[in-house]
Each structure stands twice: as C-alpha cells, then as structure tokens.
Amino acid sequence: MKTAVCPGSFDPVTNGHLDIIKRTSKMVDKVIVAVLYNPSKNPLFSVEERIELLREVTKDIQNIEIDCFSGLLVDYVNQKNIDVIVKGLRAVSDFEYEFQMALMNKKLNSEVETIFMMTSSEYSYLSSSIIKETCKFKGCIDGLVPDPVKKALLKKYK
C-alpha cells in the first residue's frame, strides 16, 4: 500500500492545493494532507481551523486523511511510514526551494521519494498569501477557494 503526504501550511487551502490533493489521491492508496504547525509564523487560521476546513473540502475523497505536524517533514514521514512526499509547483520560482528541501529529505532518509506535481495552469498564480490579501481588501476570490474557505475568510476579515 503506497501512502503519500501533501504537506503545507494551508493558510488557507486554495483550489490550487485541492487540485494537487485530488490528483495525488488517484495515484496512491492513501493521501495524508499534513498541516504544518510553525510556531514562528503568525497564521490567519489556527491549526485546528485549517484541519477542519481541509476535512470539509476533502470529505468526498475516499482515501484522504487530514493530520498536522511540527518539526522536520522527514521525521513525520518516518513516523507515519509514508512512501512519497508530493509537492505542488506553481512556477519555476517554487522549484529551487522545493528541490533543496527534497535533497535534504533524501539525505536524512534515503528511502523517501519526493514527487513534484505542476498545478493546473488555471491555479498557477494562486497562493494562500494572495488569497488573504485579496480578501482583506474586498477583492473577489470566487472560484479560487472552496466555498467553505471563502465563508471562513469573509468571517475573519469582517
């Protein structure tokens, strides 16, 4: 049984994230969507809120588990017996950083593989930061995030 992890901050989850998660779910037996808890960041949504939003927007995908972690991704991968790390790439600019992380993870655990998946072109410009800024200044985010996420964002920026 192959298990993949899609790690990220998901603050908030966007349709670009969902694109990668759904496509990954078709390639492996199980996908763990792992929310990173980073105490040095000041996220808009708590880890619990991000987990709840992810559960809601992925409820129709059968082979998904939502979890959270802190620390090194490779330690989480080892703890959960994960076979593959899946990282979404929006543009070439994402590649350099993600490539460095993949090589470091490989150095720390030679058994783990990282797969880079290009997001669909319709979401290639999306990031959680852009979504938050657009919503904060009353811009339209229709079609960029799932409806439950839009509602949660509008509530935060009320």
Instruction: Please indicate if the annotation marks 93 as binding a ligand.
Output: no
b/e 58-77 (16+ beta carbons within 10 angstroms → b): beeeeebebebbeeebbebb
Q: Among residues 41, 138, 155, 158, which one is catalytic?
A: 41
Active site residue 90: yes
* 108/9 Cα distance (integer angstroms): 22
3-state secondary structure 108-130: HCCCCEEEEEECCHHHCCCCHHH
Instruction: Please indicate if the annotation marks 37 as binding a ligand.
Output: no
Q: Among residues 25, 50, 128, 150, which one is catalytic?
A: 128
Instruction: Please indicate if the annotation marks 128 as binding a ligand.
Output: yes
* 137/116 Cα distance (integer angstroms): 32
Instruction: Please indicate if the annotation marks 73 as binding a ligand.
Output: yes
Label residue 141 left, alpha or beta by phi (over 0 means left) and psi (-120 to 50 means alpha): alpha
Q: Among residues 17, 50, 132, 150, which one is catalytic?
A: 17
Instruction: Please indicate if the annotation marks 25 as binding a ligand.
Output: no
Instruction: Please indicate if the annotation marks 71 as binding a ligand.
Output: no
Active site residue 70: no
Instruction: Please indicate if the annotation marks 87 as binding a ligand.
Output: yes
Query: Residue 66: helix, strand or coil by DSSP?
Result: strand
Q: Among residues 55, 80, 90, 106, which one is catalytic?
A: 90
Active site residue 128: yes
Active site residue 40: no
Instruction: Please indicate if the annotation marks 17 as binding a ligand.
Output: yes
Annotated binding site for ATP: 9-10, 17, 88-90, 98, 123-129
Active-site annotation, residues: 17, 41, 90, 128
Annotated binding site: 9-10, 17, 41, 73, 87-90, 98, 123-129
